């Protein structure tokens, strides 16, 4: 298997068919606390990926979870990073992204890292990297997820981010009955951010 990525928490290898994500040890943490954290996060990510299949959501399919070695094996999602192709059809892709986020939130899944680097365009937009994901019914958590999407769009696609986020919100509203409540909470989340900057 070939190493294809490494983040702060894990290293990822793939043979083109299967992806293996390994959460490595952190020497600055107490060994027992580190092991428990990595085990908890590995199990949680595996549960979220399993749920994706249950709800028919386009993302990786879980093959195996090994919480002794802190590894998750999943299917390799192929296609272009949305980060690289969003500009080719920003309105259509952004609205699709909004619908997909709505489906996650309707099933109480918080992605936790909604960037276009974690989205792959194949026959449709697939979401990947559920390492920070968790289950929650809270409006606050869903609003923060949307806020992170907005920040990511502004950072990576600043020339088109406003139209992209507007379209994403339209897609979100189309697909999620509770959208207005979450969007009201989003206003509160953003106002807190503005107040901190003052």
Which residues are known to be catalytic? 113
Is-contact 42 73, C-beta < 8 A? no
Q: Where do we find the tokens 């509160």?
A: 188
CB burial of 118-149 (b: ≥16 within 10 Å; e: otherwise) equals bbbbeeebbbbbbbbbbebeebebbbbbbbbb
**CA-CA distance, 1 to 76, in Å (whole number)?**
12
């Amino acid at each position: 298997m070939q190493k294809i990525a490494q983040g702060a928490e894990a290293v990822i290898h793939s043979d083109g068919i299967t992806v293996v994500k390994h959460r490595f040890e952190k020497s600055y943490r107490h060994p027992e606390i580190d092991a428990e954290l990595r085990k908890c996060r590995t199990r949680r990510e595996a549960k979220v990926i399993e749920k994706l299949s249950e709800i028919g959501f386009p993302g990786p399919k879980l093959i195996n979870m090994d919480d002794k070695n802190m590894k998750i094996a999943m299917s390799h999602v192929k296609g272009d990073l949305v980060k690289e192709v969003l500009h080719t059809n920003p309105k259509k892709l952004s609205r699709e992204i909004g619908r997909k986020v709505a489906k996650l939130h309707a099933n109480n899944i918080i992605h936790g890292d909604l960037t276009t680097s974690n989205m792959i365009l194949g026959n449709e937009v697939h979401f990947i990297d559920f390492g920070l994901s968790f289950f929650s019914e809270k409006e606050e958590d869903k609003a923060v997820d949307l806020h992170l999407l907005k920040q990511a769009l502004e950072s990576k696609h600043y020339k088109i981010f406003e139209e992209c986020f507007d379209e994403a919100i339209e897609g979100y509203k189309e697909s999620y009955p509770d959208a207005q409540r979450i969007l009201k909470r989003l206003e509160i989340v953003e106002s807190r951010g503005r107040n901190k900057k003052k």
